Amino acid sequence: MDKVQELIDQEKQRQQDTLCLIPSENYASNKVMDAVGSVLMNKYSEGYSSKRYYQGNGVVDELESLTIKKAKKLFGVEHVNVQPYSGSPANSAVLFGLLEPNDKIMGLSLSSGGHLTHGHPNITFSGKFFKSVQFGTDDGGVIDYGEVEKLAKEEKPKLLIIGTTAYPLILDWKRLGEIADLVGAYLVADISHVAGLVVAGVYETPVNDAHVITTTTHKTLRGPRGAMIMVTKKGLKKDPEISKKIDRAVFPGMQGGPHNNTTAGILQALIEAESEDFKKYGQQVVFSEKVLAKELVGGGLTLVTGGTQCHLMVIDLRPQKLSGSTVSEALEEVGIIVNKNAVPNDSAPPFNPSGIRIGTPALTTRGMGEIEMKKIASWILQVVEAVKLRDKTELTKIKKEVGEMCKKFPL
């Protein structure tokens, strides 16, 4: 057998036979995957619609224009760039377009649930080329917006870039917008994790409070691995040139030709996100996450912030005296896939943190609901207890049960 196809088949089987609880992962539809695997990947299209550097881009121009039109409608924004290759390049392009080197930025720290591109110091583009001020959470893992305002007044950043990868509560975009306005800063809302929930109406949209919105197009949006940068009415009011600055930063500033096959996948995902079924999907993601959280807390586990309002939670394993690495590896043994994750004020190193992160977007796509969440919670509790007691005799039985559930919900 062809080795490439063999590896693809192996990964397909792995996905089928395991329960994906990583909140940043999901399953794209067959139509999205067909678009990404299409002949569109063969075409070079440097530039923008009707302003290309290569001939033969009539079809691509129409494709990109339709994708932009659809994104504008879904998110209620004034301008969209659909060319960024992924979320990190999208955020880098915004910073590159709106700031000068050594300008000051402000964001939520990685250990408190933020993202590397939001100013993580020393090792990232955002932390090395700009002066970065980071804020965290209180001991319970909750953002204190009064403290954020106080820090912003002291530091006077030119740009706030705010978004979450491991924060279980809904961000107060109105409050963040007011803080940005108070110090004359841009507010960039990174909704990569929750874009699908925003479209479904179960997570607050930042469209009235932020100047720029960035997002990946997979995760809860269920598209391919691409990204979009969106400009709001508020953004254009603050800076009439903001759209041009961002477009120039994406191309030619940060990258070459767009991946047209990805653009097609994004368009297909946006079309699917317009449906009533997608809204129900978003509602079910949050409902299932809350069911799972309730069961885990009832079983004695500790959640950062005490619970969840969205698609993810973070379990603090310090009361069990366990590491996130140990527990995530044990869960993988039985076919439950999560990721290790830092918790607020975590003294453990990043590669062996004190928590795990769990989310329901992928399982909800497979059709699982309340009954399955309760069963999965019981398995997680059993695995944690087995690791704690150093007795893994029950893991084989759990793995078999996990496999049986997976068969009932094919990809």
Closest CA to 158 of 212, 208, 122, 111: 212
Question: At 24, which amino acid appears?
Answer: S
DSSP assignments along 242-301, one per residue: HHHHHHHIIIIII-SS--HHHHHHHHHHHHHHTSHHHHHHHHHHHHHHHHHHHHHHHTT-
Phi-psi region of 130 (alpha: psi -120 to 50; beta: other; left: phi over 0): beta
Residues annotated as catalytic (active site), given as ranges: 44, 46, 190, 216, 219, 225
Q: Which residue has the tokens 């759990």?
A: 398
Counting Cβ atoms within 10 Å, is residue 49 exposed (0-12), middle (13-18) or buried (19+)? middle
| CA pair distance 210, 219, nearest whole angstrom | 21
Phi-psi region of 391 (alpha: psi -120 to 50; beta: other; left: phi over 0): beta
| CA pair distance 75, 321, nearest whole angstrom | 43
Helices (H), 121-229: 125-128, 145-155, 173-183, 195-200
Helices (H), 156-223: 173-183, 195-200
28 within 8 A of 411, measured Cβ to Cβ: no
